[in-house]
Structure formats: structure tokens, C-alpha cells
Amino acid sequence: MSARTKARKRAIDILYSADVRQITIQDSLAAEAVRATSEPDRQASWLYAREIVDGVVDHREEIDELIETYSQGWTLSRMPMIDRAILRIGIWEILFNNAVPHAVAIDEAVEAAKVLSTTDSAGFVNGLLGRIAQTAPSA
């Protein structure tokens, strides 16, 4: 597993933890930062995970609006929490991280959904991120 894939998984964990525990993303990130200091061998994945989470926080309103717009009848509150986290990261990578090609962002999100969520989630994530990527400038 690549360092970036590990970082995405850590970012998913941070966003999901905030949702489940009903705490702020910043508090979830702070808890993970404490854990990261005791795991220096995971430093490479921590740096990108933090970049992702910070980016999602910075653009949360726009990202959530896009999820609501493109999810065709699904509100954020109806979605599985893990799907919300995966989508937020995928949208951030598509729209705000020019270092990640759109296809890579979508593939990584779909793989995460296959492993972490429901049987229907991978198709849902793929469709939603694909529609958003079509409207986004090329990476």
C-alpha cells in the first residue's frame, strides 16, 4: 500500500471519528496528531493525511454542497458516515489538489468504499465523484 493510500485511510479515520464521536474535525485531528508522535515510522502518511483533513476543513461548505447537489436525492444525514468521509476526501482531491489526477482520486475513493462501506457504496461514490470530476478543471 502506498504512503498516499495510507494517508487517505488515516484521513478517513479522522473524519469518520469526528462524525461518530460528534466532535469537531479539529479535535479528531488533534487526537490523531498525538498518536502520530508515538509512531514515527508512519510520518510520511501522517503529513498527507493532515493536508487532506486541513483541506476538507477549509473547503467543507463547498464540498458538502457538492455532495448534496450531486447525490440525487440523498442528504448528507442519510448517507453512511464512512461514505461522507470518503466523498469529502475524493472531492477535495479532485477540486483542490492538482497533484492528484482525477482518475486516481476516484479510484482511491472507490477502493476505500469497497473495503470500508456497504456493497452499494462503491458504485455510489464512483458515480458522484465522476460527475464532479467532469465539471472540474483537469488536474
Angle between helix 102-116 and 121-135 (nearest 10): 160
Model confidence pLDDT, tens digit, residues 109-136:
999 999 999 989 999 999 999 999 998 8
In this predicted structure, the answer to whether residue 139 has a pLDDT above a threshold of 70 is no
CA atoms within 13 A on the CB side of 131: 13
Whether this prediction's pTM lies above 0.75 is answered by yes
N-term to C-term CA, the chain: 23
Q: Domain-by-domain residue ranges, the chain?
A: 3-135
| SS3 annotation, 2-54 | CHHHHHHHHHHHHHHHHHHHCCCHHHHHHHHHHHHHCCHHHHHHHHHHHHHHH
CATH of 3-135, one of 3.40.720.10, 1.10.3720.10, 1.10.940.10, 3.30.710.10: 1.10.940.10
Whole-number pLDDT of residue 138: 67
Model confidence pLDDT, tens digit, residues 68-99:
999 987 888 899 999 999 999 999 999 999 99
